[in-house]
Amino acid sequence: QDQLVQSGAELREPGASVKVSCKASRFYLTDYDITWVRQAPGQGLEWMGWLNGHNTYTHYVRKFQGRVTMTTDTTTGTAYLELRGLRSDDTATYYCAKGNIVDWYFDLWGRGTLVTVSS
Amino acid sequence: QSALTQPPSASGSPGQSVTISCTGTSSDVGGYHYVSWYQQHPGNAPKVIIYEVSKRPLGVPDRFSGSKFGKTASLTVSGLQAEDEADYYCTSYAGGNNLVFGGGTKLTVL
């Protein structure tokens, strides 16, 4: 069945960067749009932005502009989320999810990648 | 954009119905037909259970239903089952290629 396979947990020091990957399995990433959502421990879901599978358009939540880059590698069917200038409050599980942005919902989610920011 | 407002908790006994509200503004819930609901069990990724206010994806039981009136959307779970105990989040398109989430509601099956 279709899956989004995310990379493993990461530990970073404050000020560092992290790049999380999300690989499409059994479908073409270019046929869909990808969103990134994060969840701090014990907290709710926070939307970070989205990009199209062709890597020609991105939209970032204002809060993350300047610190985040979302990309896709269309040859490998992999989406990436890079977050720079990490702070302790960036500690969270980061989820990728696919959908069609015209409908504004996401029907397949990765299992999440825990990013811990600590010195 | 501000988060959509959901009650932090809701509860019901097995077999009962429970409704969770999601209140926004005329710039999000009240302005578009793109309200979705996600169910999240502890330790798992979210799963869409309602999209475009009231549509159910294949495989989602018809015990789950969605509606909207004005700036408030609602998720109703009928015939509560133990497996429905989870966190529920609403989302809405908010214009300008933006999406906004609700703060989440923890549903407890008594």
Summarised one tens digit per residue, pLDDT across range B63-89 is 999 999 999 999 999 999 999 999 999
Closest partner residue to A44 among B47, B89, B93, by Cβ?
Answer: B89
Cβ–Cβ contact A44 with B under 8 A? yes
Q: Are B67 and B52 in contact (CB under 8 A)?
A: no
Q: Are A51 and A64 in contact (CB under 8 A)?
A: no
C-alpha distance from B103 to closest chain A C-alpha (Å)? 6
Asked whether the predicted pLDDT for residue B35 surpasses 80, the reply is yes
Confirm if B40 and B102 have CB atoms less than 8 A apart.
no
- Tell me which H or E stretch contains A20: strand A18-25
B10 inside 8 A of chain A by CB:
no
Q: Is the pLDDT of residue B1 over 70?
A: no
Q: Is B88 on the interface with A (CB under 8 A)?
A: no
Does residue A103 have a pLDDT over 90?
A: no
Mean pLDDT of chain A: 95
Tokens 């999240």, residue located:
B40
Percentage of residues of chain B with pLDDT beyond 70 = 99
Q: Is the pLDDT of residue B42 over 80?
A: yes
pLDDT in tens, A27-83: 998 889 999 999 999 999 999 999 988 888 999 999 999 999 999 999 999 999 999
Residue A55 pLDDT: 83
B62-67's contacts with Cβ under 8 Å and 24+ in sequence apart are B64/B37, B66/B35, B66/B37
- Residue A112 forms contact with B (CB below 8 Å): yes
- Pick among A45, A95, A100 to test the B interface (most B CBs inside 10 A): A45
Percent of chain A past pLDDT 90, that is, above it, reads: 87
Closest-CA distance, B9 to chain A, in angstroms, reads 13
Inter-chain CB proximity B101 and A95 less than 8 Å: no
A5 contact B CB<8A: no
Pairwise CB contact (< 8 Å): A50 & B34: no
The listed range with the strongest mean pLDDT (A53-67, A79-93, A99-113) is A79-93
Is the CB of A106 inside 8 Å of chain B's CB atoms? yes
